[in-house]
A and B are shown apart, each in its own frame.
Chain A
Amino acid sequence: MDFLKKKGLVFTIDAFVALMLAVVTVYSLFLIYSVPESSGGAYMQAYYLAKDTLSALDEADCSGKTCLEQIGEAGLGASGGSVGGTPLDVAKAIIPEQYGFRFDVYDAQSGSWISAYDTATDPTSNHAKGMKKFEANAKSPVSGYSVMPSGMGGVNCGEGEVCAMPASTYNPGEIYVGLVRVSVYI
């Protein structure tokens, strides 16, 4: 009887432990899956990569202007065209290859975003191609000359006979205001 009593206790404890394990397992799974992927740290990491890239672009020199201005100019400037050269080198030095990244420029006048670069469409880039899980971004306003002032003090007719009066070649330039968005995705 004592034995039976002891055996019952063992089974009871065993059953209790088993139940508890099952509950713990379910709870653990619930805990893990109830936390969104973003809070897994990867999202934060992607955001900080985007932010650091944006800060570096604002500091780096790209032909006499900041690389951030160069991206803005590429997106909104009269010359148009996509981003290349130093801004890409800066971004590639910061963002690991398992991430992809994209530069977009917001035109305040038209209220639309313009894509200036995406590793997904760059066959020369070793970075990730296209977003599979999530992306994070950081934004900074940017403004400057999309067309630099030029052509001052160089009017020339040449010697000898009378020439037609030349019009000034001076161009006071054009200024743009926009927003650069660096998106990092995986």
Chain B
Amino acid sequence: MKKGIFFTAMFVVLLSILLISLSIWAEENKIKEKRLPEKIKTDSFAFLLSQITDGKLSEAANLSTYRAMGCLAQYELEQNYGGLGELGGVKNTIIALAENGSVQIGGTNINCASVGADEELVALEGEGITIISQPQFTLRQWMESVNGTANEMGFEVKFGKLKLDGASVEQNTPWSVKVSFEVDVNITDFEGKMYLAKSLTASAFVPIEGLPDPLVGRSYWSLQSQGGYTPSLPLVRQIIHNENLEDADSVKPEELVNDESGIVNGAGWFYGQIYEGDEPSGEEHPERIIWKTGWMEPCIGIGNPMEYGACVYSFWENISAVGAVIITNTETHSEEVLGGVRYYDVNCLNCREWIEYDENPVGYEPSVTLANESDKPFAAGSWPYSASISDGMYVLIANEDWDAATINNKHRIYSIENLREVSKCQLYVENADAPSYLQRFLNGGYGQASEFGIETFLVGRIYGGDQDPLKAETNEHNRIDHKYFEPTAGGNLIVKGMSGCKTPTMCAEICPSASTPLDGCLGQFRMDTEHLLFYYGDEYDEALMTCPSGGCSQ
């Protein structure tokens, strides 16, 4: 009996322990369950904090500043705004636009929501290229979005105003602007139990690629207005560049051939594409071709090339059709004595023919005349020079003025494609004597210079070409943008091979009617000596590269 009571008592005790354990376990789970939402909220708070960082703000600052600069530039162009007074104003305006998309300057309100409709670029030929404006993006929009996501998590994120003290918007390379500023942020939960205040710092390097250049458009408008003409559309030039052609060194002409490397003779100058076939006269525009050939090479194997038969006729027919000739073999000589006179016949184009009198009669001196005379620009020589210029290449043949009696004049063949590329594409190039992008927002920006300066060439039918009502004047201008709008009388040299001056014929007048190039009249490309030296460097030779006072007829 006693045993039974003992076992019963033990059972009751064990059962009680079990029940108590079960109760504790259940209670603990209930407490845990009560705490779970708090745990989740704490974790969410940590996630939220981890995503509101300097880096994220900097990303937003990058895009919003890019949009702000685009908006300000377009505003200046559309409203023909005179430009801002100083760089501090540019900084404050850009930061305000980046933050809110609008700003009040004096009595003027700039609102990016109404600025930046589709804009038209004026192409090289004068045709329009429409640039679709970018959607607006401001820091305040980003902040509202951050707060929206925080709300979904049960939090509120409040950003303060950007602190202008210590904020900076400054050019840090020719192609980018550094932006930095601070902003305070307060994060709380909806119940007000959690609170955190911190300060974020944005630091962004904003490219200027693709942004409108406010200065070219404004200055163009001003120049045309002063001349009595008002352009119907704001002129928009985008900042574009090629990383391989972004400074003067990368734009320099390349000397392909010089006197030492094979050219022995030549005359005149010409820019065009090399053609190595037999029948250049059959090409679509033979007058644009530089025919690379051996002396009467097409006749080899047909018969005696010295016999003026059909073959020779074909040679001269081709010569007369093309723009210029490159002869790839040197002259050959033959000697003949007739009646006491020794003739050194030469077998080449425009060669010197030496006549020597063996008996030297009184009154007669050895003389030089031209054999196989042609007025085509040409260069002649032998390997290795011919190996460095090949079919399809665009080259500039440049010789000093032809003088049959002179053998020491200069003969060169250049590639000027880099400079032409920069000019044709209207790329921007670094130049420490030019205004930087931020300085281009200023009134009188063309009087500014910066170590991060950039400049571009103004080439096109509206710049001194057939669509420019002021072409008689502007054709004389320097094609460097910050010099084009500050015209100086004279002093700007026409540059051989560049637009409007690829051949002597084309270069003879602003818009030659007889030889209007396929690309329309672009006026004549001119630069001052300072910029010619800047872009051509050691290669610069005024006689070979430009058309000095004597013109470009040869």
- Which residues from 132 to 172 on chain B have a C-beta closer than 8 Å to any C-beta of chain A? 134, 137, 142, 144-146, 148-150, 152-153
A35-B30, A178-B149 are known; give 13 further A-B pairs, CB within 8 A: A140-B51, A141-B48, A149-B207, A154-B242, A157-B425, A158-B421, A160-B394, A162-B499, A162-B518, A164-B123, A167-B240, A170-B209, A175-B63
**Residues of A close to B148: CB separation below 8 A:** 108-109, 111, 177
- Chain B residues at the A interface, C-beta cutoff of 8 Å: 1, 4-5, 8, 11-12, 15, 19, 22-23, 26, 29-30, 32-33, 36, 40, 43-44, 47-48, 50-52, 56, 59-60, 62-63, 66-67, 121-125, 127, 129, 131, 134, 137, 142, 144-146, 148-150, 152-153, 175, 207, 209-210, 238-243, 246, 273, 394, 417, 420-421, 424-427, 460, 499, 517-519, 522
**Residues of A close to B11: CB separation below 8 A:** 17
A-B contact pairs, 23 of them (CB 8 A): A21-B15, A24-B15, A31-B23, A58-B50, A106-B152, A138-B44, A138-B47, A140-B44, A141-B48, A142-B51, A143-B145, A144-B56, A144-B59, A152-B175, A153-B209, A153-B241, A155-B427, A164-B124, A165-B425, A167-B238, A168-B210, A170-B210, A172-B207
Chain B CB within 8 A of A82 CB: no
Name the residue on A nearest B273 (C-beta): A160
Question: CA of A149 to CA of B63 in the docked complex: distance in angstroms?
Answer: 9
Minimum C-beta distance from B106 to chain A (A): 29
Question: CA of A71 to CA of B239 in the docked complex: distance in angstroms?
Answer: 34
Q: Produce 1/0 per residue, A32-45, CB < 8 A to B.
A: 10111011110110
Minimum C-beta distance from B538 to chain A (A): 23
Question: CA of A36 to CA of B4 in the docked complex: distance in angstroms?
Answer: 39
Which listed residue, A36, A153, A167, touches B242 by the CB 8 Å rule?
A153
Given A139-B44, A145-B59, A165-B425, decide whether A177 and B242 contact each other with a Cβ distance below 8 A.
no
**Residues of B close to A41: CB separation below 8 A:** 29
Minimum C-beta distance from A109 to chain B (A): 6
Question: CA of A10 to CA of B2 in the docked complex: distance in angstroms?
Answer: 12
B124 in contact with A165 (CB, 8 Å): yes
B36 in contact with A47 (CB, 8 Å): yes
Chain B CB within 8 A of A51 CB: yes
Which listed residue, A24, A44, A139, touches B19 by the CB 8 Å rule?
A24
Q: Report whether over half of chain A's contact residues are helix, strand or loop; otherwise say mixed.
A: mixed
Minimum C-beta distance from A179 to chain B (A): 4
Question: CA of A144 to CA of B145 in the docked complex: distance in angstroms?
Answer: 12
Name the residue on B nearest A165 (C-beta): B123
Given A13-B8, A20-B12, A139-B153, decide whether A156 and B145 contact each other with a Cβ distance below 8 A.
no
**Residues of A close to B499: CB separation below 8 A:** 162
Question: CA of A142 to CA of B146 in the docked complex: distance in angstroms?
Answer: 9
Question: CA of A17 to CA of B243 in the docked complex: distance in angstroms?
Answer: 94
B33 in contact with A156 (CB, 8 Å): no
**Residues of B close to A17: CB separation below 8 A:** 8, 11-12
Minimum C-beta distance from B500 to chain A (A): 10
A28 in contact with B22 (CB, 8 Å): yes
A162 in contact with B522 (CB, 8 Å): yes
Question: CA of A118 to CA of B42 in the docked complex: distance in angstroms?
Answer: 26
B129 in contact with A167 (CB, 8 Å): yes
